[in-house]
Structure 1
Amino acid sequence: MNQFSKLILIFIAQLSFFTVISQEANNSYVVQSGDWLSKISQKAYGNPHLYYKIIESTNEKHLLDNSFQKITNVEKISVGQKLWIPNYKSSKEQKADDVLVAIPVTDCEIRIWYNYQVVAISELNKNWIQQKIDLKTRAVKAYELRHNARINARFMMADRTAVKELQKRDIDKYGNPHGPTFEYLIGKCTKKGTAMATCYEDIIVSSSSVSTVYNSKCKD
């Protein structure tokens, strides 16, 4: 079994240790030039993937204090923006959280995380069919899961220059920094004279497929 396969198995196995954790607010932080959320999370917790804690706590504070601006886009924070940095309640809770989020650090580990989100789509689709969800809705749901996984994976990458290169590639190819839109995929499919129902099916299938080119870079 190569390293890539082992990491996937470790990631899936460790997901079973996930527990819901509560938080206590600790202190505020003013965004500096060159900051982004995962960088701030790394400074605060020694883990870049706990940025969601900062988002949750800042948005909670915003409801009571207008000096905290609500975070609606993980890629957009402004210099001078006030954030709320929470603490863990206990070392036990911290350990439980780290088991879940500390795994995707390198580009290959992030790729594994991304693959795990993507390959689940085909199984989810089976469940949607059992729920009698219509084909178009299933296509939209599958697309959104893949699309959001792409955005989140790129957000976790430490090399922002590499992220910008990926976004530029997608702009050149799709006219969108985050990959093809649902409308783009439908338009491309129907231009070939393909029936709409088949286009929806194709989107579901393509949403659950992974890139052998990128994955091969993570093998021994």
Structure 2
Amino acid sequence: MKAKTNLIAVFLFSWIFTVPAFAQTLNSSYTIQQGDWLSKIAKKAYDNPHLYYRIIEGTNKKAASDDSFDNIGSANDIQVGQKIWIPALPSANNLTGIPQTNCEIRLWYNFQIVAVGIINKKWEQDGIDLETRAHKAYEMRHEARVNARFMMQNKEEVSVLQARDMEKYGNPNGPTFEYLLKKNTDAGLTLADAYQSIIDSSSRTDTRYNADCQ
């Protein structure tokens, strides 16, 4: 009986110290399991699938000093058995006051756009049709972009961004709704899928720029 009790104790001790690798908790490592994808992990860790970019950034930052982590190039660039890092979100205290630096503005901007996906669910519950929701989601992101650039201290940097967008989209403040709709339908999407794509992209952040603020 004593031997059996000891075996149970050893099993429990072992289980306690191996669970963290498989627990999707903040400020901890996690081992990718079969059927995992980053937005799914972000949903469990942050209750928001759109915050998957935080995991990419956190893992890549760890990889710079810890060989047990590998860099993640994109959201699809993960494998079963790979070790990732799930960082905590910035303190809400960082969002009080007017953003001053580019990184503070980037943080403010990210919080505006990641909210689009959650707010869209309310719109849907309220019975708002898909086309209207697509327009509203687009406007939320567009206004966040314009306001973020207005807050930037270096107006030369703003001019560079506007010139880039003018060349790429024909609009100094990013793509228009019509541009995105045409891009999606030209790619073969149905009108309904094109509207949904606009909603999805309106709540998506750019990991390339976010990485500069880590």
TM over 0.5: yes
Structure 1: unaligned runs, 5 residues or longer: 13-99
The aligned counterpart of 2:207 is 212
Give SS of 2:205's match.
coil
In structure 2, give the amino acid aligned to 1:217.
Answer: D
The question of 1:130 aligning with 2:125 is answered yes
**Contact residue 171 and residue 179 of structure 1 kept, 8 A:** yes
Q: Which letter maps to 1:159?
A: N
Find the aligned partners of 1:122 and 1:157 in 2 and give their Cα distance.
26
Mark the structure with the bigger radius of gyration: 2
2:209 & 2:144 partners in 1: Cα distance? 15
- Structure 2: tracts of 5 or more residues without a match: 1-26, 28-57, 59-86
Which residue matches 1:193? 188
Query: Within the alignment, does 1:153 sit opposite 2:148 as a pair?
Result: yes
The separation in 2 between residues aligned to 1:214 and 1:199, in whole angstroms, is 26
1:141-170 deviation line (CA, Å, top 9, x unaligned):
000000000000000000000000000000
Match of 1:105 in 2: 100
Structure 2 CA distance for aligned equivalents of residues 6 and 128 of structure 1: 26
SS at match of 1:139: helix
Taking only the aligned residue pairs, the percentage that are identical comes to: 52
Higher relative contact order (CA 8 A, sep 6+): 1
User: Of the candidates 87, 92, 97, which is equivalent to residue 9 of structure 1?
Assistant: 92
**Aligned counterpart, 2:173:** 178
> Distance between the aligned counterparts of 1:154 and 1:8, measured in 2?
23
- Letter of the 1:110 counterpart: I
CA displacement at 1:10 relative to structure 2: 2.4
Cα deviation, residue 6, structure 1: 5.8
Deviations along 1:64-102, one digit per CA (max 9) or x if unpaired, are xxxxxxxxxxxxxxxxxxxxxxxxxxxxxxxxxxxx433
For 1:9, give the aligned amino acid: A
CA contact (8 A) 1:7 1:109 kept: no
1:6-155 equivalences under 5 Å are 7=90, 9-11=92-94, 100-102=96-98, 104-155=99-150
CA positional deviation for 1:211: 0.6
TM-score w.r.t. length of structure 1: 0.56
Cα shift at 1:174: 0.2
- SS of corresponding position for 1:202: helix
How much has 1:191 moved relative to structure 2?
A: 1.2
Deviations 1:13-69 (A, max 9, x none): xxxxxxxxxxxxxxxxxxxxxxxxxxxxxxxxxxxxxxxxxxxxxxxxxxxxxxxxx
Matched residues in 2 for 1:172 and 1:211: separation?
Answer: 19
Which residue matches 1:89? Answer: none
TM-score, reference length from structure 2: 0.58
- Calculate the aligned-residue CA RMSD, in Å: 2.0
